[in-house]
Amino acid sequence: MGTSRLRGKITFGDFAFDVDGLRLFRHGTVQALQPSPAAMLRALLARQGEVVTREELSAAMWPGGETLDHGHAIEKCAHKLRAVLGDTGPQRRYLQTVARRGYCFTASAYHSAVAPAAAAAWTRLAVVAPPAAAAAAEMAADALGMRLPTVAVMAPEVGQGEGGQAWAQSRGLRADYVLAGRWRAAGKEADPGAAGWDVAPAGMRLFAARDGTLLWEQEERGGGDWVASLARAMNVPVRPPLGAHAGVSATARPAYLRARWYLRRRNGPDMRRALEEFERAIAADPQCAPAYAGAATCQWILAYWGLAPARAAIRKARHAAKQSLELAPRLAEPYLALAQAGFLLAGEWPGARRYFRAALARNPSYAVAHHHYGRWLVARGEASRGLAENARALLLDRGSAPFSGGRVYLLMCAGRIGEALAVGRRATAAHPHRLAARLHFGTLCGYLGRTEDAVAQHERAVEIAHGMAYAKAALAESYARAGRRPQARALLVELEAVAEDTYANGAAVALAYAALGQVDQALARLDRSIAVRDPTAAFLAVDPRFHALAAAPGFAPLLERVKQWIAFAGGTAQAPDHEL
């Protein structure tokens, strides 16, 4: 939003800023703020959450070019503005300097007509949308003032019907509003396989979550006007975007939405397509911070799944994440990429934890960050905290196969086998075509000696994953446990050909060797996996499948290396909660 369109009073923290009169108040008292720093504040508030370059600040502050040394003058104004705001400590609350570029106003600010206390009463929106429409739905919610920490998007696996069904299935999210109905893409209804991308709603209905009362409906496609109509129904203004998708320009939007759709599908080929589309969005608009963030996410996932050489992919993830944060310091997604990169590449658990917390501080409803933070907490022996993080992820995105499937494995590591079985059955029934559900439930079945069930689950997982090495390693372990030695050996030969620094579910490969009676090869494979920071090896201390190797000479030093790597804080793998 340009400064010419910014009017009225803006509140942030203890302050209120009169945009028209360039006056700053604190608790109702006028503060001594000179005209130039006040003009700088107005320019930054007009583009809250974005980097405003020195050239742009100069044009906004001195439109007539009254001063020649604009760079020095802007620095002086920033110093005076921080002094008045009390923003002089090492941790900036309001004004962030972006090296060699400019400044960014990072705190939450509101028009006085919608003050924080009033906005908080009705700000949690549950959107029922197919994956093709999810990013557009999030962007629309953001425009309505539903900040991303208060937005939950439910995929159709949770329920895509209108009326009572959608309302009932959203109640666990403790939403204030539920937006449900049909979404259209490129002139037809959107679905997970739709070829259209830039979506808008048709036949949308807004319900009060507390009782299912219909508050608003639109039977025909309304184009860009539907957001304004919905805003009037919710009694909120349409605001400039400040959330995860802020800064997506019209030129970058088509490729960006395609990328987000591919990213949500969570399989190898689509992950590569997502990365290509994010790169197209960046080429269309090099200032598109969310596209850099998305590219960083793709890179660390490709490394995590063994679909790209780990070190190269993680370095690219770090680079893209830092570029994103230079453009938009308040985004949460780049911090998750830095957390994963710091842990996987450098083995820096304290640094990774700091980045996880930074991501969640910026977006407390970032379900993916809760999920992965929970995984690493479980790996380092903090099972209760880790499972609590996973539960938060599921509360925020109840239709997520990775979160429910991943919970099966975390419960197994915590020794809660009966609960893990129940969750696994529900996950595979609800998500029969999703990798995470099949993969983790199959691992649990193998550990429990239900080898044929494990083989069936992992064979299906390999099909879903299009032959991904990560899934093949799980199948090799199941074949070995089931006594299918030729099939297990054939897969192990294939997996040993994977590049040295590529993750390939090294833990499952080692366990396959152990089930074949080749203990030395099992320990050698674990040694290699730990050396390259294969994420599956991080669970060595808590995964009960490794009990079979615990007595082997050479296992204890490997376990000690893992504990040092992850700054282990707990005990060893838990005993099962009961015999089955």
Overall average pLDDT of the 81-98 stretch:
83
How far apart, in whole angstroms, are the C-alpha atoms of residue 237 and residue 145? 7
Q: With a cut of 70, say whether residue 231 has pLDDT above it.
A: no
**5 exposure class (CB count in 10 Å sphere: 0-12, 13-18, 19+):** exposed
Overall average pLDDT of the 44-65 stretch:
80
- How high is the pLDDT of residue 198? 47
Least trusted range by pLDDT, from 110-124, 265-279, 396-410: 110-124
User: What percentage of the chain has pLDDT greater than the value 70?
Assistant: 71
- How high is the pLDDT of residue 90? 72
What is the CB-side half-sphere exposure of residue 145 using CA atoms within 13 A?
24
Q: With a cut of 70, say whether residue 118 has pLDDT above it.
A: no
Overall average pLDDT of the 81-97 stretch:
83
Q: Pairing relation of β-strands 151-154 and 125-128?
A: parallel
- How high is the pLDDT of residue 273? 93
Least trusted range by pLDDT, from 71-85, 234-248, 401-415, 540-554: 234-248
Q: With a cut of 50, say whether residue 195 has pLDDT above it.
A: no
Q: Is the pTM of this model over 0.85?
A: no
How far apart, in whole angstroms, are the C-alpha atoms of residue 365 and residue 395? 9
Whose structure tokens read 């007509």? 113
